[in-house]
Structure 1
């Protein structure tokens, strides 16, 4: 697992400085997806695999000044970019593995995770850990600012049902991890899954 983590860190470390400039138009899509998570003022929410913290401002807007916003990422360079961009003003940044979070069980009302699932070394363990830190009835949003087909085309791959984000694979994976899938959207302009913490 350490090797997998090292690969993830190396992949993102070299991209951290110009990450936001590579995807300058994603802000509204992030804000829309955050809005669909169903957060309320005063809620506690985690941006899992927060990267440069692009969702933190939208998350803070949803939970208000009385809420708690955390951003956790495995890559120090991404968190440094988030700090330079001033995004720590919207939420506390944690250098942490989302598969082993330093948080109490059932401490959160929701989790937002943009582009995370394909970078988890063990997707079931990762989603189970996210379930552990969310109260029953809390919510999870798995998001990407483009859909599966557009992402596959960007990477020069064919769209495949073996993709972890394909609904036939993701639904049972979520169920085995403590989540019930409520909404599955896979359009050219976005990928969004909303799930509710069971139990």
Structure 2
């Protein structure tokens, strides 16, 4: 059975498109992330990670969040991370090897195929639009977390209606990175109903958002 996104594209087609886009973007990706670094920091802080916990970095890319996550769980904790892009993950592997982190574990896989050795205490979704729009990806990732696990999400969305003319630009900005770049009205609506304590804050004058909740039992 072929799984299709609400946009009508199969997960496999979206994955192939995304991998191709990141093949071209991987080398210079880190240099583009400065403007969203404060958002990354705020989103990680919402997880309220404690020493000894396990956290999953969803779609970790080049591994820019790994150091911050590891700082919070300490040597006793565990950081799991995955990405489907071999070009992005290659840089994450280099980052881990250079730092000598023995409790950071990387997986090259789509979200739908992820298997972890134990449930995690928290999940970070930092600009993972394609993942959030796939029901099968959301299902698999939440199954990797224990009940009550913290979830923090940052992403892009359309501007409010009074800035609607700018949404053409938002769409094409998203198009450069995602396999299925549409559905930006409420990109969180596949995962939000699965979480307790859902809270969302707009960022970037309404073009972005940070959200959090906890995995429902």
Q: TM-score, normalised by structure 1?
A: 0.81
Match for 2:140 among 123, 129, 153? 129
Are 1:47 and 1:113, in contact at CA under 8 Å, matched by a contact in 2? Answer: yes
Higher-helix-fraction structure = 2
2:7 maps to which residue?
Answer: none
- CA–CA separation in structure 2 for the residues paired with 1:122 and 1:148: 15
> How many angstroms does 1:32 deviate by?
2.4
Tell me the CA shift for residue 133 of structure 1.
Answer: 0.6
Does the CA contact (< 8 Å) of 1:112 and 1:141 recur in 2?
A: yes
RMSD across aligned positions (CA): 2.7
1:115 to 127, 130, 139: 127
Q: Secondary structure, in 3 states, of the residue corresponding to 2:110?
A: coil
Q: 2 CA distance for matches of 1:37 and 1:50?
A: 16
Q: Secondary structure at the match of 2:188?
A: helix
- 2:93 and 2:114 map into 1 onto residues whose CA distance is 20
Partner SS state of residue 43, structure 2? helix
Q: Which one has a bigger Cα radius of gyration? A: 2
Deviation at 1:61, TM superposition (A): 1.2
Q: Relative to structure 1, is the Cα distance of residues 148 and 164 closer, same or farther in structure 2, using a 3 angstrom cutoff?
A: closer
SS in 1 for 2:113: coil
Pairs within 5 Å for 1:57-68: 57-68=67-78
Preserved contact between residue 47 and residue 70 of structure 1 (Cα < 8 Å): yes
Q: 1:92: which partner in 2?
A: 105
1:8 and 2:18 matched: yes
- 1:23 equivalent in alignment to 2:40: no
- 1:121, distance to aligned residue in structure 2 (A): 8.4
Unaligned residue ranges in structure 1 (runs of 5+): none
Distance 1:115 1:174 in 2: 14
The answer to whether the 8 A contact 2:57-2:123 is kept is: yes
1:30–1:54 Cα contact (<8 Å) kept = no
Say if 1:121 and 1:109 are closer, same or farther in 2 by CA, change over 3 A.
closer
Which runs of 4 or more aligned residues in structure 1 lie more than 6 Å from their structure 2 counterparts after TM superposition?
Answer: none
Unaligned stretches of 5+ residues in structure 2: 1-10, 174-181
Aligned length in residues: 187
Q: Is structure 2 residue 188 aligned with structure 1 residue 170?
A: yes
Q: Distance in 2 between matches of 1:156 and 1:69?
A: 33
Output the CA distance in 1 between the equivalents of 2:152 and 2:126: 8
Q: CA deviation at 1:64?
A: 1.1
1:192 corresponds to = 210
